[in-house]
Amino acid sequence: MARIMIADSGNTDWRIVSASESSSVCRFAVDELRKYMKQMNGCVFADGSTYDTAYAIVVGMRSDIESEDARHLSARADGFDGYSLAITDTRIVIAGDTERGVVYGVYDLLERFGCRWFYPQQDAKDAEVVPSLPALEVKSASVSYASPVQYRICNASAFFFDIVPTLMKAQLDAAMKARYNGMGWQCDHRTFVGDQYKELESTGVIGEMKKRGMLLHGPAHSFQHFLGNDYYEAHQDWFGMKDGKRVKQVFGGAQFCWSNTDARKEFVDNVEKFVLASPGLDILCSLGWDGGAACTCPECAKSTPGDLMLTIQNQIVERLAGSAPHIVVEMSGGYSPVDDPPLHTKPHQKLRVIWAHWGRYMGYGYDDPRYDRIVNLETWRKAFPGRLTLCQYYTDNFATPWISAPYTTVTEGDRKYIRDKNISGMYMLVYPEGYWWNHGFNNYMAGICHYYWDKKAYDVLSEFAVHYFGPSAGPLMAAYYGQWATEIDLCYRLKGIANDSDAAMLAQQRCLYIDPAVDAVRNDPVLAHRVGKVAKLHEMAERLEEFYRRRDKIEEARVAGDFGKAAELLPKVRAHKEALLAFMRSLSDLGIGLIDGREVDGFIKMSFDGWLDEEEKWIAERSAKKREW
C-alpha cells in the first residue's frame, strides 16, 4: 500500500477544495482539517479548485463532488451519517452522505496521521492527542462507512441541570469526535425549562452543536415544567394522588394525574409552546420527574401507567405533527413509574421509546441469556418496532462502580443485540462531572463502536492505550486494562466485598503494569500525567480493598463471639476509613476527573459509616446478651 506525502517541514503542494461552501457544517469540517494539519506539521493549505489543482484534498457532500474526483470513491455504505474516503497519490476525497458524515470523514483522515480525542479538553495538563510530525504521510485507501444506529446521543455530565457553557462546549466537541450525532440535555428542576433553553442559545452551546450538525435531545425529566406546582391551588384534581391525598410534584410526592383530561390538555399545550420557542431542539424527550410515583387515584387505577403515559405522548405527537413536524417525540419505558409496556393503547407510528435499565450489571450484554430484564426489553421493543433507543449507563457512576473497568464485553454483546433486533437509537449517560476521566473511555469506546460496526471493543481499548499512554507505557496499560475488562467483577467487589485474592491481584498489577509504566514515561510530562492518573486510581483500589478486609475482620470476630476483639478493631477501622476518605477527597481536589468529591462526602461516606455503625450496634447488642448469660 503506497504512502503519500502531504506535507514536509511545514511545506506542501497540496490545496484544499471545498466542494460544499454553502454548508456551514462542511465549512466547519474544512476548518477542523486546516487546524489540526497546521498543529501537526505547521503547514498552511491554500484554497484550490478541482480543475486547477494538481494535488487536492476535496471535502464536501457526495452530491457536490465533481465527477472527476468522485470516480475515486467507493460505493456508499448502508446506514446513517455515512462518508467515503479515497486517498490517492494526487487526490484525497472526503465525501459525506450527510453533513455530519463530512465531519466524520475529516476526523477519519486526521486519525490516520495519529490524532485522537479520547476525552474533552478539560484537564490543562492532558491535551488532545495531536502528534508533532516533521512529515505528513498517509497510506492510500478507499473506504466507506456509516452507522447502523440512527440516533447516537451523548448525555454528557455538563448537560445535567446547571448550564456550564465552557464544559458543555468541550464535551460536545469530544462527543462529535467519538462519532455521536447528538447531545442529551437533562434540564434542572429549579429553573423554567424555557429559560434554560434560552441560556443554551445565548451562551453559544446550541450554536456549537449546530455548526457540527449535531442533534439536541431533551429536556428529559421535565414533566413538572409543563404542569407546574403553581397550578396546585386552583386545580388540585390535576395532581397525583398518594396515600389518598392529592400531592405536589416534589420529592416524596407523585406525578400529575395522567387520567385527568383537562390536566393532559394543559400539559400538551405547554409542551407545544416550549417546542415552538426552542428552534434548536430536534428530539423531544420529556419524561416524568425522576423518582415520582404514578398517581393512584381511582380513575388512574382503572388503567396502567404505560397506557396513561402513551395517551399523553400520542397526543403530543399528533399536536406537533401540525405545528412542528420536524420534531421527533420520545417517551420512556422500562423505567419507573412506567416500568411495563401499555396493555391496551397502541403507540403512534411516529412515537419512539427510550428504554432504560438503571443499575444494570455490566458483565452481561443484552444478548447474554443470563441478562435478567430481557423479557421486559423485548416486550417494549416489539411494541415500538424500529423505534427504540437504549439508554446505556456505562458511564453513569451512580449506576456503576466507583472505579470503572472498560466495558468491552457488554459493548460487544449490546451491539450484537442492537444489530439483530433493529434497534435504532443509543443514548449514553455520562454522570457525574467529577468522574469524567475515570469513566470517559467507555463513553469514547461506545461512540466509536456504535458507528464503526467492524471495530472490536478490545481493539479500541488497545488502540486507546498505545495512542494515549505512548509506545512505551501503552502496551503495559493495554494489558492492565485488559485484565480489568476480563475480570469485570473486580470493580464491583471494590464497592464493598473485596477479598484476599483481590489484594493479590491488585499487588501483582502494580508490580507488572503500573510501576513499570510510571518508570517508562518518567521523562515525558504529558504521558507521566496520564499514567499518574491510572496509578492514583489503582492506589485508591488498593486502599478500598484494605478497608474492606479490615472491616471483615470485625465481622469475623463478632460472628466467632470474640466481642472484645471486635470492639478493639472498630476504632482502628474507623481511623482507616477517615484516612481513605481523606485520600479520596485529595483525588477529587485535583480536578482531573478521578472521583467526585460530592459523592465522597455523600453516598460513599454514608455507606462506609453505615457498615461500621451496623457492626458497632451488633457488637453492643451481642456483648450485652453475653453479659446477661
Which pLDDT belongs to residue 618?
86
**Confidence band for 286, pLDDT divided at 50, 70 and 90:** very high
Residue 215 resides in a domain = yes
Report whether pLDDT(123) > 50: yes
Which amino acid is residue 501, in one-letter code? S
Rounded Cα gap, residues 240 and 244, in angstroms: 10
Report whether pLDDT(389) > 80: yes
Rounded Cα gap, residues 356 and 514, in angstroms: 36
Report whether pLDDT(289) > 90: no
Which amino acid is residue 276, in one-letter code? L
Which pLDDT belongs to residue 121?
85
Q: What CATH number should be reported for the domain holding residue 222?
A: 3.20.20.80
Query: End of a domain among 398, 429, 463?
Result: 463
- Tell whether 316 and 401 lie within a shared domain: yes
The total number of structural domains in the chain stands at 3
Residues 101-115: tens digit of each pLDDT: 999 999 999 999 999
- Tell whether 174 and 135 lie within a shared domain: no
Domain containing 585 equals 485-628
- For the chain, first and last CA: distance in Å? 85
DSSP 8-state class, residue 338: B
For residues 433 and 167, the answer to whether their CB atoms sit within 8 Å is yes
Rounded Cα gap, residues 546 and 532, in angstroms: 21
Give 581-627 as a DSSP string. Answer: HHHHHHHHHTTSSS--HHHIIIIIHHHHHHHHHHHHHHHHHHHHHHH
**% residues pLDDT > 70 (the chain):** 98
Residue 417 resides in a domain = yes
DSSP 8-state class, residue 432: -
How does the average pLDDT of the chain come out, rounded? 95
Question: How many residues in total does the chain contain?
Answer: 629
Dihedral in degrees, nearest 10, Cα atoms 344, 348, 352, 354: -20
How confident is the model over 50-57, as a mean pLDDT? Answer: 83
How confident is the model over 336-342, as a mean pLDDT? Answer: 95
Which pLDDT belongs to residue 627?
47
> Before 401, cis peptide (omega within 30)?
no
Mean pLDDT check: name the lowest of 46-55, 144-153, 239-248, 273-282: 46-55
More confident residue, 626 or 226: 226
Which pLDDT belongs to residue 621?
75
Residue 473 resides in a domain = no
> Before 432, cis peptide (omega within 30)?
yes
Report whether pLDDT(337) > 80: yes
> Is 518 exposed, middle or buried (CB count within 10 Å of its CB: 0-12, 13-18, 19+)?
middle
Residue 476 resides in a domain = no
Q: What CATH number should be reported for the domain holding residue 139?
A: 3.30.379.10
For residues 104 and 20, the answer to whether their CB atoms sit within 8 Å is no
- Tell whether 140 and 76 lie within a shared domain: yes
DSSP 8-state class, residue 495: T
- 66-88 burial, b at 16+ Cβ within 10 Å, e below that, comes to eeebbebbeebbebbbbbbbbbe
Which pLDDT belongs to residue 624?
60
For residues 397 and 435, the answer to whether their CB atoms sit within 8 Å is yes
Residue 493 resides in a domain = yes
Query: End of a domain among 93, 113, 146?
Result: 146
Which pLDDT belongs to residue 305?
97
- Tell whether 141 and 172 lie within a shared domain: no
Rounded Cα gap, residues 102 and 63, in angstroms: 12
For residues 408 and 458, the answer to whether their CB atoms sit within 8 Å is yes
Give the distance from CA 31 to its chain's centroid. Answer: 26
Residues 145-182: tens digit of each pLDDT: 999 999 999 999 999 998 899 999 999 999 999 999 99
- Tell whether 437 and 450 lie within a shared domain: yes
- 223-260 burial, b at 16+ Cβ within 10 Å, e below that, comes to bbbbbeeebbeebeebbbbbeeebbbbeeebbbbbbbb
Which amino acid is residue 126, in one-letter code? D
- Tell whether 161 and 73 lie within a shared domain: no
**Confidence band for 221, pLDDT divided at 50, 70 and 90:** very high
Q: 463 Cβ partners below 8 Å, 6+ apart?
A: none
- Tell whether 398 and 495 lie within a shared domain: no
Cell readout for 145 is 462507512
**Confidence band for 626, pLDDT divided at 50, 70 and 90:** low
Query: End of a domain among 146, 166, 184?
Result: 146
Residues 506-547: tens digit of each pLDDT: 999 999 999 999 999 999 999 999 999 999 999 999 999 999
Rounded Cα gap, residues 324 and 264, in angstroms: 19
Which pLDDT belongs to residue 331?
97
Q: Which of 551, 528, 532, 529 is nearest to 540 (CA)?
A: 532
Rg (CA), the chain: 27
Residues 316-335: tens digit of each pLDDT: 999 999 999 999 999 999 99
For residues 334 and 354, the answer to whether their CB atoms sit within 8 Å is no
Cell readout for 546 is 484494605
Cell readout for 66 is 465533481
Rounded Cα gap, residues 465 and 488, in angstroms: 18
**% residues pLDDT > 90 (the chain):** 88
Cell readout for 142 is 478507499
Which amino acid is residue 59, in one-letter code? V
For residues 335 and 393, the answer to whether their CB atoms sit within 8 Å is no
Cell readout for 603 is 453516598
Residue 471 resides in a domain = no
How confident is the model over 180-193, as a mean pLDDT? Answer: 96
Give 111-179 as a DSSP string. Answer: HHTT-B--S-S--TTS--B----SEEEEE-EEEEEEES-SEEEEE-GGGEES--HHHHHHHHHHHHHTT
How confident is the model over 4-33, as a mean pLDDT? Answer: 96
For residues 459 and 187, the answer to whether their CB atoms sit within 8 Å is no
Which amino acid is residue 485, in one-letter code? A
Dihedral in degrees, nearest 10, Cα atoms 514, 516, 521, 522: 100
Residue 155 resides in a domain = yes
Residues 563-610: tens digit of each pLDDT: 889 999 999 999 999 999 999 999 999 999 999 999 999 989 999 999
Q: Which of 97, 12, 32, 89 is nearest to 60 (CA)?
A: 97
User: Which run of H or of E encompasses 530?
Assistant: helix 525-559
- Tell whether 117 and 189 lie within a shared domain: no
More confident residue, 594 or 619: 594
- Tell whether 323 and 458 lie within a shared domain: yes
Rounded Cα gap, residues 496 and 549, in angstroms: 10
- Tell whether 137 and 171 lie within a shared domain: no
Q: Which of 212, 228, 209 is nearest to 267 (CA)?
A: 228
* Beta pairing partners, 4: 138
- Tell whether 131 and 81 lie within a shared domain: yes
> Is 329 exposed, middle or buried (CB count within 10 Å of its CB: 0-12, 13-18, 19+)?
buried
**Confidence band for 629, pLDDT divided at 50, 70 and 90:** very low
**Confidence band for 95, pLDDT divided at 50, 70 and 90:** very high
- Tell whether 276 and 422 lie within a shared domain: yes
Query: Looking up cell 504521510, which residue turns up?
Result: 137
Residues 411-448: tens digit of each pLDDT: 999 999 999 999 999 999 998 889 999 999 999 999 99
Residue 574 resides in a domain = yes
Q: Which of 343, 320, 340, 344 is nearest to 330 (CA)?
A: 320
